[in-house]
A and B are shown apart, each in its own frame.
Chain A
Amino acid sequence: DSGVTQTPKHLITATGQRVTLRCSPRSGDLSVYWYQQSLDQGLQFLIQYYNGEERAKGNILERFSAQQFPDLHSELNLSSLELGDSALYFCASSVSGVAKNIQYFGAGTRLSVL
Chain B
Amino acid sequence: KNEVEQSPQNLTAQEGEFITINCSYSVGISALHWLQQHPGGGIVSLFMLSSGKKKHGRLIATINIQEKHSSLHITASHPRDSAVYICAVRETSGSRLTFGEGTQLTVNP
Contact = CB atoms under 8 A, between A and B. Distances in A.
Contacts of B11: none
Contacts of A55: 95
A100 B95 contact: no
A38 interface: no
B48 A100 contact: yes
Contacts of A88: 41
Contact of B50 (A44, A99, A110): A99
Contact of A102 (B45, B96, B98, B102): B45
Contact of B97 (A45, A104, A107): A45
Interface in A81-114: 88, 90, 92, 97-105, 107-108, 110
Contacts of B99: 42-45
Contacts, number: 57
Contacts of A43: 86, 88, 99, 102
A97 B95 CA distance: 7
A14 interface: no
Interface string B7-29: 00000000000000000000000
Contact of A99 (B30, B41, B86): B30
A100 B97 contact: no
Looking at chain B's contact residues, the main secondary structure is: strand
A105 B86 CA distance: 13
A48 B96 contact: yes
A48 B45 contact: no
Interface of A: 2, 33, 35, 42-45, 48, 55-56, 58, 88, 90, 92, 97-105, 107-108, 110
Given A2-B44, A45-B98, A105-B45, 20 more contacts: A42-B101, A43-B86, A43-B88, A44-B99, A45-B99, A55-B95, A56-B95, A56-B96, A58-B96, A88-B41, A98-B95, A99-B92, A99-B95, A100-B48, A103-B45, A104-B45, A105-B35, A107-B41, A108-B42, A110-B41
